[in-house]
Homo-oligomer: A and B are copies of this chain.
Amino acid sequence: MPQAVIAIHGGAGTITRAAMDANREREYTTALEQVLLAGQRVLADGGSALDAVTEAVRLLEECPLFNAGRGAVLTNAGTYELDAAVMNGATLDTGAVACVKRVRNPVLAARAVLDHSEHVLFAAEGAEAFAEAQGLELVAPEYYFTQARHDQWVRARASSGMALLDHDAATLAAQAAQVAGGAADPIDPDSKFGTVGAVACDAAGNLAAATSTGGVTNKQVGRVGDTPIVGAGCYADDVAAVSATGTGEMFIRTVAAYDVSAQMRYAGLSLEESARRVVMEKLPAIGGRGGLIAVDRAGNVTLPFNTEGMYRGVARVGEPVNVWIYG
């Protein structure tokens, strides 16, 4: 019997130490610890890996520090479009939603798809209609708003030279100047990605993964990244469970999450070596930046990333939780 374990991430990128003072660092560290403790509690109470990752990602969505749920980034239209997926390694059952604009917790919509639909992926209005029919909480777009993400969006638009509406321009320029000195998200706004995720192995040796995101700042409306794509940003089977974060397009093109499992199953590599090859070799070969968290059914955990930092942590049942930010 493996020792039950959960690992989480809150996004990878150029996490600038300059923007990260002691208070800010404590905020992130505390948030990660609280989520890990909650996931650890699910597992300690005999809960499944699937329930543990769902709860951990729900809490990460609730926390405005991370780019998922409340705290999500804005599209180039100034709107929010969220994606999430969850997968049960024991059964290969999966559920995912893409481009939802009104669901408070996209991971719960993904879980409802897994539990209650013959389909596995719903997009846009159809995804919202499904979530609503399942009784999930819908919110107004303002719910997702955080000043830090808004400021990040203003900077992204300014640096991309994108035209602003006249009545917005002065206000936004003033805001941009005001926040340019810092106080915003410590992930460098020039590497504008972030995602949250969790992987777990429960006491029965079953694996599960969940991933959720607001996407990339100033993304084109309708863009879907790797998060809701089974095999790319989220995957679990009876060999490994994986949740990824980074430049989503490259994770799709390399089928990054499934590739960790495939290398273990077909080439006999270890979890750590499979994950290392994906993150340190296959992704960089096409310009992919980011990282992933992965667990195997023996309870081994690996957390590789090719960026300056990745918000991440691990909690084994019966042991203290551990969180890290930098490399």
Contact = CB atoms under 8 A, between A and B. Distances in A.
B249 A231 contact: no
B262 A121 contact: no
B222 A122 contact: yes
A167 interface: no
Contacts of A219: 119
Interface stretch (A92-100, A138-146, A188-196, A318-326): A92-100
Contacts of A93: 253
Given A123-B123, A266-B263, A252 B222 contact: no
Contacts of A125: 124, 221-222
A222 B129 contact: yes
A126 B93 CA distance: 28
Count identical subunits in the complex. Answer: 2
Interface string A241-277: 0000000010011110011001101110000000000
A156 interface: no
Contacts of A112: none
Given A124-B123, A258-B231, A130 B92 contact: no
A180 interface: no
Interface residues of A, number: 43
A224 B121 contact: yes
> Which applies to chain A's interface (DSSP): helix, strand, loop or mixed?
mixed
A126 B220 contact: yes
A121 B223 contact: yes
Contacts of A118: 249
A255 B258 CA distance: 8
A98 B123 contact: yes
Given A255-B255, A263-B266, 18 more contacts: A92-B254, A94-B253, A98-B224, A118-B249, A119-B249, A121-B225, A123-B222, A124-B124, A124-B125, A125-B222, A126-B223, A129-B222, A230-B252, A231-B255, A258-B258, A259-B262, A262-B262, A266-B267
Interface of A: 92-94, 98-99, 117-127, 129-130, 219-225, 229-232, 235, 249, 252-255, 258-259, 262-263, 265-267, 286
7 contacts: A92-B253, A119-B219, A119-B220, A122-B220, A129-B222, A230-B232, A266-B267
